[in-house]
Chain A
Amino acid sequence: MSKRKKLTKLRKREEISFYLFILPWIIGFVSFTGGPIFATLGISLTDWSLFGSPHWIGLSNYVKLFSDPLFYKALVATFYYVGGRIALLVIASLLIAILLNQKLWGMTVFRTIYYLPAVITGIVLAMIFQQLYKPIYGPFAYFLSLVGISAPTWLVNEKWAMPALILMNFWMIGPTTVIFLAALQGIPKALFESSKIDGANFLQQFFYITIPTLSPVILLIIVITTVQSFMVFAEPYVLTRGGPNYTTLVGALYIYREAFKYYKLGYACSFSWILLLVIMGFVGLQFLLSKHWVHYEAKKQ
C-alpha cells in the first residue's frame, strides 16, 4: 500500500517535471500561436488602424472583403501558387530522388549540389532570379532565343508572372527530395526483383510499386508543402510586388499590404482568418481524400 503511494508520488513529480520541461512551448503556444489566432478573429471584428483605438464593427470587414475585387484576386493568386507549387515540388522531387537514388560513385557530391540552392532561398534567390528572368538580356530569354523561341517578359506579363514565380521552386526541391530519397531507400528490394522476374519494365515498377509504397510520404509532403506555400512572401515581394494587375498578390503579401502599408489591421485580420479556415479546410480535405489513394503497409499486418 505504502509502496503504491510512493509510486504515485513519483509519478506526480514526473508529471510536474513534464510540464516544467514543456513550459517554453506552453508559453509560446498561448502567447504567440493559439492566442494570436483568436486575437486575429477579435481584431477582424474591429476597425483598428495601427494608431487609433479600435471600435467594434461586427462583420463589416468581412462584408467589405467579399465585395472587394482585390480579395478575389488575392485568393486566386494564392490558390494558383499553392497548387502549382505542390504539383511542381511533388513531381520534380520524386523524379530527382529516383535519379539520386542510383548506386553510383560520387552520389553524395551530386546530392549536395542538388540541395545547395535550397539553402539560399528567400530574398537572395529572388534577386538572382530577377536577373535570370530579365527580358532579352537574361539567360533564360537568351537560351530560348537560341532555339528560336522569343521569350515572354515573364515578370510583367499577367499570364507569365505566376508561372515564373512557381518555376523558381524547382531550385528549392532539396528538402522534399531528401525525404523522398529516404523513403525510396526504405522500399524492400525484393519487390523490385520479383517484379522484374515477372517481366515488369521501369514504368510499370514506377506506377505499381514506387508510387503506392511511397503514398504515405507523398501525402506528408503535400501537407507540408501546402502549409509552406501559404507563407510565401519574399519572392513575390521582390520579383513582382504582387503585380502585374495583382495576379501575384498572394496571401502573405496581401496581409502585409493591408496591415503594414495601409494600417488596416482589422481588415487584414479578416483576410487572415479566412485564409486560416481555407488552409484548415485544404489540409483536412487532403487527409480525407488520402483514404482513396494512400496505401498503408502496416494496416494489413
Chain B
Amino acid sequence: MNNSLRKLNINRKIIYKILLYGILVIGSIVFLFPIIWAASLSLKDYAHVFEIPLKLIPDSIVWRNYPEAWSYYPYTRFLLNSFFVCFMCVLGDVFSSSLVAFGFARLRSRGKNILFIMVLLTMMIPYQLIIVPRFLIFQKIGWVDTFKPLWVTTFLSWPYFVFLFRQFFMSIPFEFDDAARIDGCSLWRIYWNIVLPLSRPALATVAVFSFVANWRSFLAPLIYLSSQEKYTLALGLGLLQTRQYVEVPYVMAVAMIMIIPPIIIFIFTAKYFLREISLSVYK
C-alpha cells in the first residue's frame, strides 16, 4: 500500500516534469519563431515567398540573396558606421556613468541625496519628448549630419547606467577605500585602480546594454543623419523598407545580418548579464 503510494507520487513527479519541459519547449519555439521565419524568408526565392502552404525550409536554398541584398545599398559602409557609433557610445557610457556612479556611491557630500533623486527622476523623462531642443542645440553647433549627436551625449552619463553602477559599487567593501586613502591614494586612483577592476560584471553589463541599445537606435540617426554615406545599419535597413518593390528576401537577409552582432554578444554574456540586471534592480 505504502509502496504503491510512493510509486504514484514518483509517477506524478515525472509527468509534471515532462509537462513542464513540453511547455518550455513550445515557449522556446514561440520566442524563436520570428528569427527562424526571417532566416527562412531570407533564403527563399522571391517566387516562393508567397506560397500556401507555408514552408519553413525552402525547396531550394538561395544563398545569393545575401550578397545581392548587401550590395543593394552600400551596406558595408553602413555597418562600419554603426560599429564606429556603437564603439564610441559604449566607451562613453561605461566611462562617464561609472565615474558619476563612483561619486554617488563612495564619496560624501552635502546635497548628494537630492542630486541622486534627480538622477532617478530624469530616468522618468523619455528623451523623444525633448528631442526638438536637443536637435536645435546640435544644429547650432553645426553637428547635424555628423555622427557626433549620436555619441557625444553618452559621455555625459545616462541615469539608468549610473543607477546600475552605483548599486554595484555599493556592494564593494568600503575598507578598500579607507586603506587606500590612508596610504595616500588619490580618489581618482581608488576609482581607476581599485573600484573599476572589481566591477567587471557591471562594466560588461553596461557595455552590452549600451551596444544593444545604440545598435538598434533609429529615431536619432533618422533625425540627425541626412547624407546616405553616413547612415547607420538601422537606417540602411529602413531604406529597403521604404521601397515597396524590393524583394522580401533581401530585406530579411539584411535584417538577419544586422541581428548577428547583438545576438553573439548576448549569448556570450547572458550568464553575467541576466544576473546583473536582476541584482541591480532588486537590491
Contact = CB atoms under 8 A, between A and B. Distances in A.
Interface in A175-208: 175, 178-179, 181-183, 186
Interface string A217-229: 1001001000110
Given A24-B100, A108-B271, A230 B129 contact: yes
Contact of A21 (B103, B156, B222, B281): B103
Nearest to B41: A131
A255 B129 CA distance: 7
Query: Interface range on chain A: under 10, 10 to 19, 20 to 34, or 35 or more?
Result: 35 or more
B125 interface: yes
A179 B266 contact: no
A37 B100 contact: no
A62 interface: no
A11 interface: yes
A11 B279 CA distance: 32
A117 B259 CA distance: 10
Contact of B130 (A20, A37, A122, A181): A37
B119 interface: yes
Interface string A22-52: 1011011101111111011001000000000
Interface string A99-111: 1001010001011
A178 B277 contact: yes
B102 interface: yes
Interface string A79-98: 00000000000000000100
Contacts of B277: 175, 178-179
Contacts, number: 257
Interface stretch (B17-25, B58-66, B78-86): B17-25
Contacts of A124: 216, 234, 237, 255, 258-259
Interface stretch (A147-155, A156-164, A271-279, A290-298): A271-279
A59 interface: no
Given A102-B20, A104-B21, A123 B216 contact: yes
Nearest to A35: B133
A17 interface: yes
Contacts of B51: 137
B130 A128 contact: no
A156 to B, nearest CB: 14
A55 to B, nearest CB: 16
Contacts of B222: 256
A265 interface: yes
Given A24-B100, A181-B278, A120 B216 contact: yes
A14 B132 contact: no
28 contacts: A21-B100, A24-B96, A24-B155, A24-B157, A32-B156, A36-B133, A108-B270, A114-B27, A115-B274, A117-B35, A121-B216, A124-B234, A124-B259, A127-B252, A127-B255, A131-B252, A137-B49, A182-B278, A227-B124, A252-B128, A255-B131, A260-B223, A265-B132, A265-B136, A272-B132, A276-B125, A279-B125, A280-B124
A-B pairs, 8 with minimum CB distance: A28-B156, A182-B278, A21-B103, A122-B216, A39-B133, A36-B133, A18-B109, A36-B130
Interface of A: 11, 14-15, 17-22, 24-25, 27-29, 31-37, 39-40, 43, 96, 99, 102, 104, 108, 110-117, 119-125, 127-132, 136-137, 139, 142, 171, 175, 178-179, 181-183, 186, 217, 220, 223, 227-228, 230-231, 233-234, 237-238, 251-252, 255-256, 259-260, 265, 268-269, 272, 275-276, 279-280, 283
Interface of B: 17, 20-21, 23-24, 27-28, 31-35, 37-38, 41, 49-54, 96, 99-100, 102-104, 107-110, 112, 115, 118-119, 122-137, 153, 155-157, 159, 162, 187, 191, 212, 216-219, 222-223, 234, 237-238, 241, 248, 251-252, 255, 258-259, 262-263, 266-267, 270-271, 274, 277-279, 281-282
